[in-house]
Chains A and B, each alone.
Chain A
Amino acid sequence: MAANMKKLNLLSLAVVVALAGCSDDDDNDYKTLVVNNTLPVGSEQCVNGGNEKLEGEDSNRNGELDSDEVLETTVTCNDPATSLTPQQLVNLSTNQWFKDAKVKVAENQDNIAEIIKESGKAKNVILFVGDGMGVSTVTAARILAGQLEGKMGEEHELSFDTMPFSGFAKTYNVDAQTPDSAGTMTAMISGVKTDVGVIGVDEDIEYGDCSTVAGNELVTATELAEINGLATGIVSTARITHATPAATFAKSANRNWEDVSDMPEDAVTGGCEDIASQLVNFEANLEARFDGLDVDGLEVVMGGGRRHFLPKDAAFNSADAVSAVEGDRTDERNLITEWQAKYPTGQYVMDQAGFNNLDTETATQVFALFNESHMQYEADRGNDIAGEPSLSEMTAKAIDMLDNNDKGFFLTVESGRIDHAHHAGNAYNALNDTIELSKAVQVAMDKTSIEDTLIIVTADHSHVFTIAGYPKRGNPILGKVVAVGSEEPSLAADGMPYTTVGYANGLGFRDLGDETDADAAYFEGPAAGRYDLTSVDTTSAGFHQEATVPLGSETHAGEDVGVYAIGPGAHLVTGTNEQSYLFHVMDYAADLVKNADAKLAN
């Protein structure tokens, strides 16, 4: 029994009340005692706190209610708390992450409220496409950009990270789980998903069969803008005839029909026009498709790919020709002079000096072909023979020219070489070109107004590029994994260090030192698997990350890509949508189809 005589520990809180007096001569008459205990918040009986009332008889007459004397227990719990006291919140409210996020919520509410949600309010539309810029590429580029500014990196924001709306796009082609740029850009710019490898035509096309093009041509947002009298522009660091820019203006059964020499004889005789020719004939071809239409053509064309516009004759070589014979055209046409004849007040530009001399206030049209093939990687521009501008410089000039049109403009800007650096297994160039894209987007945000310009930033597809291991915060994103609390690289099961970023397939390891041209890796065969990186500077420009599956070229990946948006109609960029949805967002924002219908009806 003694063991059961344990006294309650809460006596200090208790209020002991003698409820009834008893005569001294009656041994069985005990005092009735009542004890009230306050239950703290988080107690077992009441999570929000409360009161416990114990009633019993003081059978041992010690004046206290011992546990074995309790006859009845009544628990009354408090109502749930509807607010916390400042004192209770102090650990949160003084925390910087907490404070920053709280401010961000308020900012985002303001930013969202600022977005004009009514249709047709976007005077200008700019579509940025980071070719191959999957989510892991965006994350790694953000970290690298921050680290280049002396930050730890992870907390940094790329320009488009600050946009108020974002979502995901499903990238698959109609006939391919993992897509290519031709099908994906056709979806974005025309609103129709199609097959891999084809440009500006729907899925009824037979790849490479010229005869199936007729009747399956799509209308692009660029063409609709042109019909509506907007200024139109195409900017890319790839060849301007490459899949992504080509999808804005061309219709082709094969993305590789960039000039006539790339086409089979039956395609030429069958009446199919090569992509370069379609660019120069953009105005005439569009007018031919719609009776009575009169348009003025593309105002801005900037990119690479001179080879597809020049005759296959060394006499036509440019100052920075890379091949012995720069031009590829076997039909003896010089499309550059053809363009100049069509636009006598326009300016043809082929180098940095010509670009710098462009007067954006007076220039009517510009046709700029800065390279025989693709333009240089941003980190490799210094090695270009004649010099060429950066993507942000081209974007600035393009907007300065296009905004001369009072009706507005439609501009597509592609960072085309993120994709190529990934194909070469070189994260350094992929990330640096992504950072340059971020700068170009910032230029566009600075030069335009949220009130009248819709800016969308996205990718056509992803790559098999991963951020892995458990590196500590601030660890160089291109470096080897150094774990939290450590100063030395972590070692894998094979006893060798490993990098944070890597590829699931491709050429694999290369240590090319300070080589800034990712494509230099291609001259040797795949070297997949593990290498001892102990004495290798993996942050150098010429380092190519290890890959698991040996392939001659790293491949695209099939997961969704991010979409970021600001400006009128940007609120529609939300959730997970088919890539073709993006055309319809732009159409909603600028009434592209409605206005074109009205124009063509008159």
Chain B
Amino acid sequence: MKLAILTLALLSPLASAAQCTIDNQYMQASYQVTQKQGAAQVTDTQQFTLWRTPSQAAQQDQQLVELWQQLSNKQLRPIRYFPQAERGIEYQPSEVKGQQNFSSKQQLVSDELLAQMTLQSEHGEGCDKIQKYTLKQADTTIEVSWAVNKKLLESMHITKPVGSQTITLQSVSFDKQKVQQQFTNWDNFQTTDYADIGDNESDPFLAKMINLGFIEHSATGFYDANGKTLSGGHSHH
């Protein structure tokens, strides 16, 4: 046993050249989502930015920021920020089964989904090491390009008979200070428990929430272990 540890220790300086020293816990990544539907292949393109810290992940588009905080008991707490109004709505930590996967919030593709997929190829080293995965389930095919040492989704292509969706990385930054500042900015918005909205008809912003319920998020990007888009506020019953 001692010998084995010594061997690893001796090897480590050589190995470090291929390792990635980026602190991937703090990240800002911009994505483009392209959806094609029907025989005419009608195309819809949207942009969103993924932000993450070790305990928070946020998906930002032009109107809405959907943020998830991982609590000490591993529950996930969602907050929706409305930057134009500089207000936020805090939701209760989710105890609903199927919405507890923090890796899907931080990476867009969960560790569980990656584990289910088949590794097709691998190239590059260190931070540039890319793994190509595929998964075919029923009539759905998922292809993922995964920067494994950055824990970063480079692209995901989902193909179904009715259409396809492609998520493509546009840019990425691992500027810890900038990421922390962004989360601080959102945290400084005035927030309200959703549970209190019903008692606040006299507040114009909250009254709007009573009547609208919630504002539809424009982008998608969170997937469960089966490659399905998580409901996460994006869909109605």
Which residues of A are at the interface with B, using a C-beta cutoff of 8 A? 180-181, 196-197, 207, 242-243, 255-256, 261-262, 312, 320-325, 373-374, 383, 385, 419-420, 423-424, 507, 509-510, 512-513, 515-517, 519-520, 522-527, 531, 550-556
- CB of B210 within 8 Å of the partner chain: yes
Residue in A closest to B200 when the chains form the complex, CB atoms: A256
Contact status A180-B199, CB under 8 Å: yes
Given contacts A324-B55, A325-B187, A552-B197, could you give 9 more A-B pairs where the C-beta distance is less than 8 Å?
A180-B201, A323-B90, A520-B96, A523-B91, A523-B94, A551-B213, A552-B209, A552-B213, A555-B210
Interface of A is mostly: loop
Contact status B199-A419, CB under 8 Å: yes
Residue in B closest to A264 when the chains form the complex, CB atoms: B190
Contact status A383-B209, CB under 8 Å: no
Q: Smallest CB–CB gap between B185 and chain A, Å?
A: 13
Provide the residues of chain A in CB contact with B213, threshold 8 Å: 507, 525-526, 550-553
Residue in A closest to B203 when the chains form the complex, CB atoms: A256
Among B69, B72, B95, B190, which residue has its beta carbon within 8 angstroms of that of A520? B95
- CB of B202 within 8 Å of the partner chain: yes
Provide the residues of chain B in CB contact with A323, threshold 8 Å: 69, 77, 90
Residue in A closest to B79 when the chains form the complex, CB atoms: A323
- CB of B112 within 8 Å of the partner chain: no
Q: Smallest CB–CB gap between A544 and chain B, Å?
A: 11
Contact status B78-A385, CB under 8 Å: no
- CB of B73 within 8 Å of the partner chain: yes
A312 to B188, CA, bound (A): 9
Among A325, A522, A555, which residue has its beta carbon within 8 angstroms of that of B92? A522
A180 to B69, CA, bound (A): 31
Contact status A520-B56, CB under 8 Å: no
Contact status B198-A519, CB under 8 Å: no
Q: Smallest CB–CB gap between A174 and chain B, Å?
A: 13
Query: Which 6 A/B pairs are nearest by Cβ-Cβ distance?
Result: A552-B213, A553-B198, A423-B198, A519-B92, A522-B194, A525-B213
A373 to B209, CA, bound (A): 20
Interface string of B97-132 (1 = CB under 8 A from A): 100000000000000000000000000000000000
Beta-carbon contacts under 8 Å, B218-237 to A: 231-233, 235-237
Provide the residues of chain A in CB contact with B190, threshold 8 Å: 261-262
Q: Which of B71, B96, B211 gathers the greatest number of chain A CB atoms within 10 Å?
A: B96
Contact status B236-A524, CB under 8 Å: yes
Given A419-B199, A524-B236, residue A324 in contact with residue B95 (CB < 8 A): no
A423 to B233, CA, bound (A): 18
Among B77, B232, B237, which residue has its beta carbon within 8 angstroms of that of A322? B77
Given A324-B56, A551-B211, residue A520 in contact with residue B199 (CB < 8 A): no
Q: List 20 A-B contacts (CB under 8 A).
A: A197-B202, A242-B196, A256-B192, A256-B200, A323-B69, A373-B90, A373-B195, A383-B95, A385-B71, A423-B195, A513-B97, A520-B96, A522-B194, A523-B94, A524-B214, A524-B231, A524-B233, A527-B237, A552-B211, A555-B198
A385 to B71, CA, bound (A): 10
Residue in B closest to A262 when the chains form the complex, CB atoms: B190
Contact status B210-A520, CB under 8 Å: no
A124 to B67, CA, bound (A): 48
Beta-carbon contacts under 8 Å, B58-88 to A: 69, 71-73, 77-78
A522 to B209, CA, bound (A): 11
Residue in B closest to A373 when the chains form the complex, CB atoms: B193
- CB of B163 within 8 Å of the partner chain: no
Contact status A324-B237, CB under 8 Å: no
Q: Which of B72, B78, B194 gathers the greatest number of chain A CB atoms within 10 Å?
A: B194
Q: Smallest CB–CB gap between A400 and chain B, Å?
A: 30
Provide the residues of chain B in CB contact with A524, threshold 8 Å: 214, 231, 233, 235-237
A517 to B75, CA, bound (A): 13
Contact status B203-A523, CB under 8 Å: no
Count, chain B residues at interface, CB 8 A: 43
Q: Which of A197, A323, A553 gathers the greatest number of chain B CB atoms within 10 Å?
A: A553
Contact status A553-B197, CB under 8 Å: yes
Residue in B closest to A195 when the chains form the complex, CB atoms: B202
Given A180-B201, A207-B202, A322-B71, residue A525 in contact with residue B95 (CB < 8 A): no
Provide the residues of chain B in CB contact with A553, threshold 8 Å: 194, 197-198, 209-210, 213
Provide the residues of chain A in CB contact with B202, threshold 8 Å: 180, 196-197, 207
Among B69, B72, B200, which residue has its beta carbon within 8 angstroms of that of A385? B72
Residue in A closest to B216 when the chains form the complex, CB atoms: A525
Provide the residues of chain A in CB contact with B90, threshold 8 Å: 323, 373
Given A262-B190, A322-B71, residue A523 in contact with residue B232 (CB < 8 A): yes
Q: Smallest CB–CB gap between A179 and chain B, Å?
A: 10
Provide the residues of chain B in CB contact with A325, threshold 8 Å: 187
Given A197-B202, A322-B71, A383-B95, residue A519 in contact with residue B55 (CB < 8 A): no
Provide the residues of chain A in CB contact with B73, threshold 8 Å: 385
Contact status B55-A420, CB under 8 Å: no
Given A520-B92, A524-B233, A525-B214, residue A324 in contact with residue B195 (CB < 8 A): no
A256 to B192, CA, bound (A): 9
Q: Smallest CB–CB gap between A532 and chain B, Å?
A: 12
A153 to B69, CA, bound (A): 43
Contact status A527-B236, CB under 8 Å: yes
Given A243-B199, A522-B195, residue A515 in contact with residue B95 (CB < 8 A): yes
Provide the residues of chain B in CB contact with A420, threshold 8 Å: 195, 198
Residue in B closest to A512 when the chains form the complex, CB atoms: B96
A141 to B77, CA, bound (A): 31
Contact status B71-A519, CB under 8 Å: no
Provide the residues of chain B in CB contact with A509, threshold 8 Å: 237
Contact status B69-A324, CB under 8 Å: yes
Q: Smallest CB–CB gap between A435 and chain B, Å?
A: 20
Contact status B96-A515, CB under 8 Å: yes
Residue in B closest to A380 when the chains form the complex, CB atoms: B95
Provide the residues of chain B in CB contact with A555, threshold 8 Å: 198, 201, 210
Contact status B195-A519, CB under 8 Å: yes
A418 to B182, CA, bound (A): 37
A180 to B73, CA, bound (A): 35
A550 to B214, CA, bound (A): 12
A180 to B199, CA, bound (A): 6
Provide the residues of chain A in CB contact with B235, threshold 8 Å: 524
A525 to B231, CA, bound (A): 11
A516 to B95, CA, bound (A): 9
Q: Smallest CB–CB gap between B148 and chain A, Å?
A: 28
A513 to B201, CA, bound (A): 30
Residue in B closest to A510 when the chains form the complex, CB atoms: B237
